[in-house]
Amino acid sequence: AKFVLKQHPYLQYHATANIVCTPIEEINKSQNYFSVLCAGTSDLAVAEEAALTAEVMGIQVKRFYDVGVSGIHRLFNHIHEIRQGKVSVVIAGMEGALASVVGGLVNHPVYAVPTSVGYGANLDGVTTLLSMINSCAPGTSVLNIDNGFGGGYNAGMIVKMIENN
């Protein structure tokens, strides 16, 4: 990042997501938004990758972090605002339960992004991936492990399509 920023000083580096991009403040934002949710603070890097990807596309993003099922009351504190969004990108490690829970609570598409974060039998995200793939929650699509970019880009495209119609 240091080399790129030295060559292009107008760019910004976002350490949490490990992304170099154009200054987001200078980009016009969409009328509609989508939500990025992450289960725990260990998932922040992938969640921020998703959020920043969409913001560079000009999409408004609302972040809901540390709202995992181990403290589900934190999710319920924000559920009305999450439901108002056009899409949700749900980032989770461990067993990935947050994606199924959100998929059952909203009536819009959910992109589930498993992370490689976890311990025990997490298997670098494979356990989470398989859990998310086996979700019975309607409207839930699963991306690859740690693919915050894919989640942010796909959700951003849906918001753009809504606004262009």
CATH number at residue 158: 3.40.50.1970
Q: Is there a domain that residue 54 lies in?
A: yes
SS3 label, residue 157: helix
How distant, in Å, are the alpha carbons of 59, 61, 120 from that of 11?
A: 19, 20, 39
How many CA atoms lie less than 13 Å away from 144 in the CB half-sphere?
3
Domain that holds residue 48: 27-164
Q: Is there a domain that residue 143 lies in?
A: yes
pLDDT, block means (10 residues), the chain with 165 residues: 89 89 81 97 96 95 97 97 98 96 98 92 94 95 98 98 93
Q: What is the pLDDT of residue 119?
A: 82
Q: Is there a domain that residue 19 lies in?
A: no
User: Are 62 and 81 contacting, i.e. CB atoms less than 8 angstroms apart?
Assistant: yes
Nearest to 131 by CA among 89, 87, 99, 108: 99
What are the two backbone dihedrals, phi and then psi, of residue 82, each rounded to the nearest 5 degrees?
-65, -40
Q: Is there a domain that residue 11 lies in?
A: no
Q: What is the pLDDT of residue 126?
A: 97
Q: Is there a domain that residue 112 lies in?
A: yes
Q: What is the pLDDT of residue 64?
A: 98
| Structural domains counted in the chain | 1
The CA-based angle 46-126-42, given to 5 degrees, is 30
